């Protein structure tokens, strides 16, 4: 593995990327729990995002985390039936939440078609759930205040699409331009299914740490543009930044179009 400035780590292949990210995630959760008792993670769907969760569930070090004191949210969700194979939450339950025996009352899913009348209602309900959790939160002294409508996100995971979308914020679409809201309803998404609910970029960027986990040659252009400093509306991945840290965790294939200047000072 090679590390570079700007928090970029390049792993030899998909498997190494997922197991190393799982290890980092476990360490991060242990650290947060030792500081404030519980930890809050925002999950993502997508191939790498779910493979990381499976790697966490399989890692011997998983027992270092108290999984009953971890709160789970999603950066985005597909607006389909709760039991649909397309649901990001269902994939996460199978890969990690169920095997680790997490407390279901700490798992905050975006309502599906069986619960919400339409995608706007699902987005509103998710925003209300976030605000309620934020209101109930007691932070130890010394923890920075964030948006009062959002709980403190210790770690937020994102996948990146070949078009550089993150969560369900797609290039040039309304969602990526939305300000002043925490959650947005998405219609006509270019990646199926078309109806989705997503955190806004402002909500994503309220997280202490944002990790973008990206594998595959088809993502190389998106990774290269995002790290070259492209604009967020055209290249949403460029806009995702944690308050304390932004990590790009990529495999060799996804790193093949990284700007030269970024690779020069690595070790």
Residues that bind ligand 6PG (CB under 6 A): 44-49, 76, 78, 88, 159-161, 165-167, 191
The closest residue (CB) to ligand 6PG is 159
Between 49 and 242, name the residue whose CB sits nearer to ligand 6PG: 49
- The minimum distance between CB 265 and ligand 6PG, in angstroms, equals 28
User: Residue 199 and residue 127: Cα distance in Å, rounded?
Assistant: 9
**Residue appearing with tokens 């970024």:** 262
Between 85 and 145, name the residue whose CB sits nearer to ligand 6PG: 85
- The minimum distance between CB 157 and ligand 6PG, in angstroms, equals 9
Contacts 24+ apart (CB under 8 A), 118-121: 118/185, 119/79, 119/185, 119/186, 119/187, 119/195, 119/196, 119/197, 120/185
Cis peptide before 193 (omega within 30 of 0): yes
Instruction: Residue 238: count other Cβ atoms within 10 Å of its Cβ.
Output: 19
Query: Contact, 266 vs 3, CB < 8 A?
Result: yes
Which residues, including other chains, have CB under 8 Å from residue 21's CB and lie 6 or more apart? 52, 55, 211, 213, 249
Task: Return the structure tokens found at 57.
Answer: 């569930």
- The minimum distance between CB 78 and ligand 6PG, in angstroms, equals 6
Between 65 and 110, name the residue whose CB sits nearer to ligand 6PG: 110
Between 112 and 159, name the residue whose CB sits nearer to ligand 6PG: 159
- The minimum distance between CB 110 and ligand 6PG, in angstroms, equals 11
Which residues, including other chains, have CB under 8 Å from residue 2's CB and lie 6 or more apart? 9, 10, 266, 267
Between 40 and 198, name the residue whose CB sits nearer to ligand 6PG: 198
φ and ψ at 157, to 5 degrees? -100, 140
- The minimum distance between CB 49 and ligand 6PG, in angstroms, equals 5
Between 32 and 240, name the residue whose CB sits nearer to ligand 6PG: 240
Between 33 and 73, name the residue whose CB sits nearer to ligand 6PG: 73
User: Residue 120 and residue 58: Cα distance in Å, rounded?
Assistant: 37
DSSP state of 50: H
- The minimum distance between CB 48 and ligand 6PG, in angstroms, equals 5
- The minimum distance between CB 37 and ligand 6PG, in angstroms, equals 29
């Amino acid at each position: 593995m090679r590390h570079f400035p700007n928090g970029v780590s390049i792993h030899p292949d998909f498997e190494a990327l997922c197991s190393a990210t799982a290890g980092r995630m476990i360490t991060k959760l242990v650290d947060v729990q030792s500081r404030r008792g519980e930890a809050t993670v925002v999950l993502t769907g997508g191939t790498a995002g779910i493979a990381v969760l499976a790697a966490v569930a399989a890692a011997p070090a998983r027992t270092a985390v108290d999984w009953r004191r971890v709160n789970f949210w999603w950066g985005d969700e597909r607006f389909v039936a709760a039991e649909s194979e397309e649901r990001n939450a269902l994939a996460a339950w199978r890969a990690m939440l169920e095997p680790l025996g997490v407390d279901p009352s700490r798992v905050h899913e975006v309502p599906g078609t069986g619960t919400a009348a339409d995608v706007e209602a699902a987005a509103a309900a998710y925003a209300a759930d976030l605000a309620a959790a934020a209101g109930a939160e007691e932070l130890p002294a010394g923890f920075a205040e964030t948006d009062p409508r959002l709980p403190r996100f210790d770690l937020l995971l994102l996948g990146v699409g070949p078009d550089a979308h993150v969560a369900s914020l797609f290039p040039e679409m309304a969602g990526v331009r939305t300000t002043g809201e925490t959650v947005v309803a998405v219609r006509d998404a270019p990646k199926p299914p078309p109806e989705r609910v997503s955190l806004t970029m402002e909500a994503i960027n309220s997280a202490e740490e944002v990790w973008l986990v990206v594998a595959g040659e088809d993502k190389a252009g998106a990774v290269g543009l995002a790290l070259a400093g492209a604009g967020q509306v055209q290249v949403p991945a460029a806009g995702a930044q944690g308050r304390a840290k932004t990590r790009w965790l990529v495999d060799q294939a996804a790193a093949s179009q990284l700007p030269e200047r970024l690779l020069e000072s690595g070790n």
